[in-house]
Structure 1
Amino acid sequence: MTELELLLDFHIEGKRQGPGNTEDTIKALSFMELNEDENLKVADIGCGTGAQTITLAKNIKGEITAVDLFTEFLNELNSRAEELGLAHKINTLKKSMDDLPFGREEFDIIWSEGAVYIMGFEAGIKYWKEFLKTGGYLAVSEITWLTNSRPVAIEEHWNSEYPEIDTASSKIKILEKNGFSPVGYFCLPESSWIDSYYKPMEERFDNFLKKHNYSAAAGQLIEKEKEEIRLYKKYKNYLSYGFYIAKKIR
């Protein structure tokens, strides 16, 4: 298997492919002034297996288009939606987030948890903005520095992994520059990393290695995940995911 295939195989069994939980999604949703009687159109971009998609479907009236590049993730989401009686509210779409077939101002809400980094924060919000109605809401979570200074080791690591990592104030300035008015911001608590993401991941390590006959490639993948967990635990006071909620004003 290729490195990408191994990564997909490991994360397909996870409820989430990144930090976050149901409470975070509902909290982000609470910043929006929505008409409860209106059927809303929502795009969840980079949905993965759709934990947040399911939460949105349970908490809004309307239809969600869940977009991801990987069929395996979308199949998992479809199965869960069917089991929960939510299939009528969720449509899945296999598409790259930088090549979307949507119409201009088609959606009331554009949502993306932990995925905009694939395009880059500014490129993502600039492109997705054209699909959002004026007065509609954008909700994205993005890796964010919590302090203006931090240890060299973690700064070098993240500047290498994702050069657009920055403070919340810098991200908010980007939103404002691109025609959005911020209506809410919060950072994900430690429990959204440890309890919702890393602990379930650690519980899958042994079975994943057995499944792949303890291959060198599988071992390398697990070691990389362990290193990510170690870095987070050591430097958790300096970074988290920031959740940004903003209204399109122009």
Structure 2
Amino acid sequence: MEDITIREFEFALINEFFTELERQGPGSPEETIRALSFISNLSSKAKIADLGCGTGAQTMVLAQNTKATITALDLYAGSIDKLNVTAEKLGLQNRVKGIVGSMDNLPFRNDEFDLIWSEGAIANIGFEKGLNHWKNFLKKDGYVVITYESWFTDERPAEIEKWWVDAVPEIGTIAHNISIMQKTGYIPVAAFTLPESCWIDNYFVPQKARQEEFLKKHAGNKTVEDMIAFMRREADLYSKYKQYYGYVFYIGKKL
């Protein structure tokens, strides 16, 4: 198990597992709103892209706390279908639209957006690569807001170092990531860590019942068994080593 990363599991199975959960990664409405508080000048004419949006928990928070038009993009059609259904239920369908697409090949025009948002997804294409690519689609003085796995300390135990370097080869400290943000053409505006509740209460705990149900549904499927074992190990490692790493909100303004 130690040499397996989440990318090696079948994406269809990961998608099937997570689309039934409210969140596909650590976070909370409160922290999304906190990050949003650093962004100025979002009028009713503003346009937001939410990249790697999953089923759209944070998309709806953005829509309910701004007057902007939001395009939410994810690779999985099932997630996008659920997002669009939720937008309609909340009466937000005129301002929120989910589309299927890839974060590293965006189907947008240059300088189209006032704000690019992405929670827990940029690691899929790389922190530096994502910031470089996405900048093209931001207006001058537009903002990028992302959460990204980061080290809180310069040194950490070998067990957790190996786990995260296998999962996110580019993982760096907060200071290193801010320097990458500067290097790629953004003025750093803010950076803050997500509290433990975003991981435990909103991510790991809701997975528990889903894991049992998923194992029963796919009884005998080795890929599913490995995937659930991976998730359980991730939760165990977090409880053991949470002082060394976590998600950090990074907020930058395009030069």
TM-score (normalizing by structure 1): 0.96
* Cα distance in 2, alignment partners of residues 228 and 49 from structure 1: 22
Could you say what the CA RMSD is over the residues aligned between the two structures, in angstroms? Answer: 1.2
TM-superposition CA deviations, 1:32-84 (whole Å, max 9, x none): 1224x442100000001010001001011121000011100000101111111
**Alpha-carbon separation, structure 2, partners of 1:115 and 1:162:** 11
* Deviation of the 1:224 alpha carbon: 1.1
Letter in 1 for 2:33: I
Partner SS, residue 198 of structure 1: helix
- In the TM superposition, 1:14-93 aligns within 5 A as 14-35=21-42, 37-93=43-99
CA distance in 1, matches of 2:220, 2:15: 17
Q: Which portions of structure 1, spanning 4 or more consecutive aligned residues, are displaced by more than 6 angstroms?
A: none
Q: Which deviates more, 122-131 or 96-105?
A: 96-105
| 1:154 maps to 2:198 | no
Equivalent residue of 1:141, what SS?
A: strand
How far off is 1:214 after superposition?
Answer: 4.8
Unaligned runs of 5+ in 1: none
- Percent sequence identity over aligned pairs: 47
Deviation at 1:213, TM superposition (A): 3.1
Q: Is 1:235–2:226 an aligned residue pair? A: no
Aligned length: 247
Q: What is the alpha-carbon distance in structure 2 between the residues aligned to residue 83 and residue 38 of structure 1?
A: 21
Q: Does residue 116 of structure 1 match 2:122?
A: yes
Tell me if structure 2 keeps the 8 A contact 1:40–1:60: no
Which secondary structure does the structure 2 equivalent of 1:109 belong to? strand
Distance in 2 separating the partners of 1:94 and 1:108: 21
* TM-score of the two chains, using structure 2 as the length reference: 0.94
Q: After TM superposition, list the pairs within 5 Å mapping 1:127-206 onto structure 2.
A: 127-206=133-212
Do structure 1's residue 9 and structure 2's residue 16 form an aligned pair? yes
- Closer/same/farther in 2, CA of residues 213 and 189 from structure 1, 3 Å limit: same
> Gapped runs of 5+ residues in structure 2?
1-8
User: What per-residue deviation string (whole Å, max 9, x for no partner) do you get for residues 147-178 of structure 1?
Assistant: 11111111122112211100111111111112
Distance (Å, rounded) in 2 between the aligned partners of 1:138 and 1:7: 27
User: In the alignment, is residue 105 of structure 1 matched against residue 86 of structure 2?
Assistant: no
Q: Residue 94 of structure 2 aligns to a residue in which SS?
A: helix
Structure 1 residue 217: Cα displacement? 2.8
Q: Aligned partners of 2:23 and 2:220: how far apart in 1?
A: 24
Paired residue secondary structure (2:73): strand
Task: Tell me how far apart the structure 1 counterparts of residues 119 and 94 of structure 2 sit (CA, whole Å).
Answer: 22
Structure 1 distance, partners of 2:20, 2:44, is 35
Does structure 2 conserve the Cα–Cα contact (< 8 Å) formed by 1:98 and 1:119? yes
Is 2:228 the partner of 1:222?
Answer: yes
**Per-residue deviation at 1:87?**
1.1
Tell me the distance in 2 between the aligned counterparts of 1:31 and 1:130.
21
CA distance in 1, matches of 2:186, 2:63: 25
| TM-aligned CA deviation for residue 14 of structure 1 | 0.8
Partner Cα distance (1:41, 1:209) in 2: 41
> Using the alignment, how far apart are the partners of 1:215 and 1:154 within structure 2?
28
Larger mean CA deviation between 104-113 and 82-91 belongs to: 82-91
